[in-house]
Amino acid sequence: MSIVPTLRVSSHEVWVTLTLLFCLLLFVWVRVSNPKRIPSLVSGFFQTGTSGERTITPDSIALFFIFICSAALLVLRALKYHGVVSRFNPVEEFLLLGVGLAAYYFLKTFILLICGTVFQVQTNARDYINEIYASTHLASLALFPALLVITYANNINEDLYYKGIIVFIGIFLVYRTIKMFILMMNRGLSMMYLFLYLCALEIIPLVLLYECRKGINF
């Protein structure tokens, strides 16, 4: 008698397994090279101040890469589950989603730096940028295991699973936004600037995602 595991990844999607393996190796490397990194991310996110990240380090780049890969693959699997097809193959879809998500964060960074310079609040703008990327690093700790489960586990309610992920992401983003809004207000930043930023780079993208979700009956 032979035991043959049943995986959700088909033979022509070996690149998914290789990508996940590479992300896992990055996780191990971050944990070994900087053991305090992950605990500090968790504690920093839930404290009243900022996370404390000030510079770009190799482990921060690794965690951001894991976040991009995990988010792109989760979206790709969700679209496939709901029957959404495109003219691109899965690898091209993954690359487009990953590049698009990374470009969105880089655009937010650029706009915040420009606004911080124009309104002479560079320190606050940098703190906000650091908090944005710290939240992506923390999100990677949850999205990567969630991706592993939906990729390899069987006999789970995928519809309920995806809705649970959406709820988690929504709560996560709302908490981060409220936290930074209160923190910036306490630092004397104008409410008008904060409101314009929230509408342009936080609320509008979420509204667009919600409209896309309705369009594909998610």
Domain assignment present for 63? yes
Domain assignment present for 5? no
Domain assignment present for 42? yes
pLDDT the model gives residue 169: 84
Instruction: Give the type of residue at 185.
Output: M
Outline where the chain has alpha helix (H).
14-33, 37-45, 58-81, 90-118, 122-152, 158-186, 191-197, 204-215
pLDDT the model gives residue 209: 64
Backbone angles phi, psi at 84, to 5 degrees: -85, 125
Domain assignment present for 33? yes
Domain assignment present for 145? yes
pLDDT the model gives residue 202: 67
Domain assignment present for 6? no
Domain assignment present for 95? yes
pLDDT the model gives residue 2: 43
Could you count the other beta carbons within 10 Å of the beta carbon of residue 175?
A: 13
Per-residue pLDDT of the chain (218 residues; tens, 9 = 90+): 344 444 555 555 788 989 999 999 999 999 999 888 888 888 777 776 666 566 678 899 999 999 999 999 998 988 888 787 788 888 999 999 999 999 989 988 888 888 778 777 778 778 888 888 888 998 999 999 999 988 888 778 888 888 888 888 888 888 887 777 777 777 666 666 666 666 666 666 666 666 665 555 54
What tokens appear for 11 in the block? 């033979």
In which domain, by residue range, is 118 found? Answer: 14-215
Task: Look at residues 62, 38, 69, 31 and name the one whose alpha carbon lies nearest to residue 147.
Answer: 69
Domain assignment present for 8? no
Domain count, the chain: 1
